[in-house]
Structure 1
């Protein structure tokens, strides 16, 4: 089980006693299908809504556990409109359209469960009236729109190799005058280049990179066993292939992983950090990897580049040579709808490639 999942599960259990019994029932119903992280997000969204209900005097409950089904059953449409306005116009912590849509979707899921699935001892629905059934939630992220936002913000063609090469050599030349930064660069460049190369040649998510263990990587067969997002079977790891270009980068890093980072044998993590003053290396964090890529990207002249955009860069390049179904499987998408982003991105890439060919 990943470190993040252990933390989320612990936090989930801490929050469960402080929500209404019927919400606890809903969370238990969803446990087999959703990750602890997603369930935590649900609970936080419900806490926000219940707090608003109390603040508006729409319930006599003094805390969340005292809320009743009748409180939800007697809500009017103007109450839901009021909550939406509260989310979008409050002076502190105003939510984006995406966040508002997510919070309302979480409420719809709860109300649907209570009115259509859960039942009392007489086999009647727990919730007799479902106000959220009347709420229309517009889809905000269409693949074409997402592709438009990524336009010009990913690595293309030779840039994929150039970025890894820059981590190995170019960055060191750029910061050589700064002795502390240069020392850190020399210590970590093989590891950092390996991480960038792995993402650019496999499309792994940053969470999948963080959770990767040494025993999960088969360098000779260019294969990894990855704990995929949304997979609640913690004993199962998905086989994911990486391209030939990453093979030497991985082998180089693995040869120095233990000696350079003072990695104890009990530490199974693939990617290790050795914090200042520490005697032993430990698993790199998600935040450390994200900040590391941003550091190199700025010097490389691509300040908008992030870990996730490295994944997009791989996916766009991969889709040019494969169909949407292979791309979906490689990236671990739940549906081809998400993968359609790269169909729109490659439309642009193909047209530009043709223009370059005509100009040459």
Structure 2
């Protein structure tokens, strides 16, 4: 189990006792099939919903643990509509359409379980009436729409090479009058270039890069072993190839890793960082990696570029040379529907190809 999953599982265990008994039963039912991160999102969504029921007087108990099945069963359509409006307007955390859709999907999953799967001692459903079955959740991020938002925000063709070179050497010239920034770059440039090059030549997610261990990297065969999103077998790691052009950057990092980022023997992480005031290297965090990419992207003149858009940049380039099924496997998508984004991103190239 990755470090992030361990943290999320701990939070699930801490929050679950505060939930009503039937939610605890539902989470336990889902435990073998969903990641701790997804289960934690479910619980957070239910916290918001149950708190709202109490605020509106729909549930009269003192806390969310006391929300009853009867209160869920008696919900009316106008109350569910009011909750949807609340999700789009409440100040603490205004929700986008995608977030709103996910929160409603969480409720639908719970209500479906209570009305169609779970049974009482007499073999009757726990929930006799499922108001959420009436709620239509529209798909909000179609591949074509996502592609339209990404156009012009990714690295294309020679930019993939140029950005790696910029991280490795070019950035230094732009911060030459800033001693602190220059020192940090001199210390981390080879590592940063290796990270950027790896993503641009494999399409790994940032979490997959962060969780890489030393024994996950096979330089001879240009292969990585990664814990892929959605894979519930914690012991299995998916083999993923990276392009030849990344090998030199990764090798350069390996040659200085031990000397520049000294670590205790127990530290297995592939990419390391040393925090200010500390002497030993530790696994580089997801947040640090994201901030690092944003820093270089702004200086490079691509302020909209993020670590996930590096993955999109690789995928678009890879799709031009391979079919949708190979692209799906390389990226670790659950279905080709997600991979269709890159078909839309390359529409212009495809139209030129058919003319030729």
TM range (shorter): over 0.9
Of 107-116 and 55-64, more deviation after overlay is shown by: 55-64
C-alpha distance after superposition, 1:190-236 (max 9, x if no partner): 00000000000000000000000011000110000001111121111
Distance 1:29 1:226, change over 3 A: same
Question: What SS does structure 1 have at the residue aligned with 2:346?
Answer: helix
C-alpha distance after superposition, 1:143-164 (max 9, x if no partner): 0000000000000101101100
TM-score by length of 2: 0.98
1:41 corresponds to 2:41: yes
In the TM superposition, residue 351 of structure 1 has moved relative to its aligned partner by 4.9
| Separation in 1, partners of 2:349, 2:168 | 27
| Separation in 2, partners of 1:3, 1:342 | 31
Structure 2 equivalent of residue 154 of structure 1: 154
Structure 1 equivalent of residue 319 of structure 2: 319
Question: What SS does structure 2 have at the residue aligned with 1:53?
Answer: helix
Structure 1 equivalent of residue 132 of structure 2: 132
Of 345-354 and 187-196, more deviation after overlay is shown by: 345-354
In the TM superposition, residue 317 of structure 1 has moved relative to its aligned partner by 0.4
Structure 1 equivalent of residue 82 of structure 2: 82
Distance 1:180 1:91, change over 3 A: closer
1:248 corresponds to 2:248: yes
| Separation in 1, partners of 2:142, 2:217 | 35
In the TM superposition, residue 42 of structure 1 has moved relative to its aligned partner by 0.3
| Separation in 1, partners of 2:61, 2:352 | 61
| Separation in 1, partners of 2:192, 2:352 | 31
In the TM superposition, residue 64 of structure 1 has moved relative to its aligned partner by 1.3
Of 132-141 and 272-281, more deviation after overlay is shown by: 272-281
Structure 2 equivalent of residue 167 of structure 1: 167
CA contact (8 A) 1:257 1:263 kept: no
| Separation in 2, partners of 1:64, 1:110 | 15
Structure 2 equivalent of residue 332 of structure 1: 332
Question: What SS does structure 1 have at the residue aligned with 2:115?
Answer: helix
1:104 corresponds to 2:80: no
CA contact (8 A) 1:258 1:264 kept: no
CA contact (8 A) 1:171 1:296 kept: yes
| Separation in 2, partners of 1:174, 1:93 | 37
Of 22-31 and 346-355, more deviation after overlay is shown by: 346-355
| Separation in 1, partners of 2:307, 2:132 | 37
Of 94-103 and 114-123, more deviation after overlay is shown by: 94-103
| Separation in 2, partners of 1:117, 1:155 | 47
Question: What SS does structure 2 have at the residue aligned with 1:329?
Answer: helix
| Runs of 5+ consecutive residues of structure 1 not aligned to the other structure | none
| Separation in 1, partners of 2:27, 2:137 | 22
1:236 corresponds to 2:236: yes
| Runs of 5+ consecutive residues of structure 2 not aligned to the other structure | none
Question: What SS does structure 1 have at the residue aligned with 2:93?
Answer: coil
Structure 2 equivalent of residue 205 of structure 1: 205
| Separation in 2, partners of 1:349, 1:285 | 37
C-alpha distance after superposition, 1:78-134 (max 9, x if no partner): 010010111112344221111111111110000000000111111111100000000
The within-5 A match list for 1:185-334 is 185-334=185-334
| Separation in 1, partners of 2:303, 2:231 | 33
Question: What SS does structure 2 have at the residue aligned with 1:129?
Answer: coil
In the TM superposition, residue 36 of structure 1 has moved relative to its aligned partner by 0.4
| Separation in 2, partners of 1:304, 1:46 | 33
The within-5 A match list for 1:168-183 is 168-183=168-183
| Separation in 2, partners of 1:309, 1:350 | 21
Question: What SS does structure 2 have at the residue aligned with 1:224?
Answer: strand
Question: What SS does structure 2 have at the residue aligned with 1:299?
Answer: helix
